[in-house]
Amino acid sequence: MKNVVVVGSQWGDEGKGKIVDWLSEQADVVIRFQGGHNAGHTLVIEGVTYKLRLLPSGIVRKDKISIIGNGVVIDPWSLLEEIEEIKKKKIEVDTNNFMISESANLILPFHKEMDEIREDAAGKGKIGTTRRGIGPAYEDKVGRRSIRVMDLRSESNLDHRLENVLLHHNAIRKGLGKTIYKKEHLKKELLKIAPKILKFSQPVWLKIDEFKKQKKKILFEGAQGVLLDVDHGTYPFVTSSNTVASSAATGTGCGPDSINYVLGITKAYTTRVGEGPFPTELKDDVGELLGSRGKEFGTVTSRKRRCGWFDAVLVRQTIKISGINGIALTKLDVLDELDEIKMCVEYELDGKKIKYLPAAVEDQLKIKPIYKTFPGWKQSTSGSKNIEALPENAKKYIYAVEDFIGAKISSISTSPERDDTILLEDPFND
């Protein structure tokens, strides 16, 4: 019996929602440990589609405990809206099955506005954020001026904390010629929703310790992907949190010994949303085909995703950085119509061959992919539930991916439906 961390091994959007939902059937507890409502998971269960932003994927299943950890930044109004949305689909969300870390930091309206102001002013240098205030909220957390869930308990404490954070933000807003924020109005709005948020507030680190003693299976759910990690991703075109598996410990309040297996979700090709380097990007008919067959639009923003060939160099790198034990390969069926399929196995930089993604963005933008070409299978793999049922060329491609990246492929997803999964290794009971 193991505790499992799920992370994206590329730039996010790898299909974590389906895999996490599939795993949550075995788990007792599902915990989000970083990110905010910029990350979206789409689940399809018995014909019903659930689009989650902050709520852990376990929320849609009965008898599961869902937790938002201290590493997550929470827009309280967005969270309450999401809870109401999912309740309309007959999903219960109450204090028995949902809790929020009292130490989680809040995203406030001025964080979102600052995100928008910066992106609009950046011109060609824009990052491509979701404009939801994630980055500015994490900045306030590190700057020790953030409002946390626990601050909503006391009006006097909230007043003091707001005065501190607005001193910083209003100085910047004034310098940019923007209207300053009124503390009293914001305090009034926060106090209005405080009871609705505080009823879920818990010392999550303590609850996790109890769950471990009770031998409960815990699923730690990450957002985005390792290549968007603020330390290890394609900086500065990254998110503002650590998306690697080790942040499951710091983002929830448990030791690294709580993590027994790391599952990396990996598309059979590569996609990216927003700006930044993308060595294998395809701006041709094949790229368009991948995007249309894969329905590559963001769950949260509906932005069109950039598409390209599978970059095995990058995935091998994220496997090492995040300590990934097994790979869940998703969207294999999207490749079914292609005559040939390419996999990046090396880069060329300034005339020299290299075997990893360099850290400098200037180099990342210059590198050229070196491909290995595989024949397509020109047959449908959609809905396959057994690896032996796959076309021979599909199996050759899968085994080549596994061999190059140096990690076992533990499952293969062949459609958005949760049951259309080929299980090769169970992360909870391998």
Catalytic residue positions, numbered = 13, 41
Q: How far is CA 295 from CA 15, 68, 419, in A?
A: 11, 28, 19
In the three-class reduction of DSSP (H, G, I as helix; E, B as strand; rest coil), residue 414 is classed as coil
Q: Would you state the structure tokens that stand for residue 255, as one six-digit string?
A: 């030791």
Spatial CA neighbour of 74 closest among 118, 33, 41, 114: 33
Residue 363 burial (10 A CB sphere; 0-12, 13-18, 19+): middle
Per the omega criterion (within 30 degrees of 0), is the bond before 236 cis? yes
Q: Which residues are CB-neighbours of 3 under 8 A, at least 6 positions away?
A: 212, 217, 218, 219, 220, 258, 259, 260, 261
Dump the DSSP string for 20-60.
HHHHHTT-SEEEE-SB-TT--EEEEETTEEEEESSS-GGGG
Number of Cβ atoms within 10 Å of the Cβ of 210: 9
One-letter amino acid at 193 equals I
Q: How far is CA 199 from CA 93, 284, 311, 351, in A?
A: 12, 51, 45, 60
Judging by DSSP bridges, how do beta strands 326-330 and 261-267 pair with one another? parallel
Residue 6 has phi, psi (to 5 degrees) of: -110, 125
Q: Which residues are CB-neighbours of 95 under 8 A, at least 6 positions away?
A: 199, 200
